Amino acid sequence: MTCLWGAACRARPGPSVLSVAAAADLRFALDELASEFRGAHRDVDLRIAYGSSGDFFAQIQNQAPFDLFLSADIEYPRRLLRERIGVPDSLFVYAVGRIAVWVPSASMLDPATALESPALRHISIANPQHAPYGRAAEAALRSLGLYDRVGNKLVFGENVSQALEFIQSGAAETGIVALSLVLAPPVRGQGRYWEVPLAAYPKMEQGGVILKDTPAARQFRSWMLSPAGARVLQEYGFSLPG
């Protein structure tokens, strides 16, 4: 850099980094939403990690350096705030999650009746111990009167995205996963799904909390809650809160 007339040289400030921990069910919807956000906020370096909400909850308790947490279960952000982790006025609900039974295109199974097939050997769900979508899947199996028959066939993904990967790879013939994942363009043409009735499992309020109070974090929260954000979430099968 050349300095003229003795003026002090000052490097232009780089973009502010925004680190987001996001539930695995958001992978495709949030990628699209994030692309639009980046186009409108070129001064923000948005970095998103996807995984199990419960795992992120534990990491954040142990001071993981995230700025924003987007959970598949509003209770995790609430618990963080009760522990005085996060910005007190920043809790928000952004969507209501839904689940679906999914089978690959080559399967002879009907997704609406797949879970009752006697030939079924493996059913993939997210781990209920730390994944909200796993808990929803387990609750649905119990509500539909199927758990006692198929409980020994369950295989667990670390998160709902991995549960879908197990079906795609053939490690399981079917499974209960996030509707948002099976509606995503990369997956939509690969299989068929049956949406599990909402009455079969507890309402899945998905929420977030700002962990570090920065302009970028508040901008991204506002973007998710805007009409543009709501449009993207609805396209991927989420219901809006309300």
124 a known binding residue?
no
- For residues 16-32, give the mean pLDDT: 95
160 a known binding residue?
yes
Q: What gap in Å lies between CA 177 and CA 159, rounded to an integer? A: 10
Q: What gap in Å lies between CA 184 and CA 67, rounded to an integer? A: 26
Q: What angle do CA 35, 39, 40 make, to 5 degrees?
A: 120
The confidence score (pLDDT) of residue 15 equals 76
The overall pTM is greater than 0.85: yes
Radius of gyration of the chain (CA): 20
The confidence score (pLDDT) of residue 242 equals 75
Residue 17, strand partner residues? 45
The confidence score (pLDDT) of residue 2 equals 47
State yes or no: pLDDT of 208 exceeds 50.
yes
State yes or no: pLDDT of 85 exceeds 70.
yes
State yes or no: pLDDT of 105 exceeds 60.
yes
Distances (CA, A) of 203 to 72, 95, 169: 11, 11, 30
- For residues 17-40, give the mean pLDDT: 95
Summarize pLDDT for 131-142 with one digit per residue, the tens: 999 999 999 999
Map residue 15 onto helix, strand or coil.
coil
> In this structure, are residues 167 and 173 in contact, taking their beta carbons and an 8 Å threshold?
yes
Helix, strand, coil tally for the chain in percent (to 5)? 40, 25, 35
State yes or no: pLDDT of 1 exceeds 60.
no
Domains of the chain: 18-96+203-235 (3.40.190.10), 97-200 (3.40.190.10)
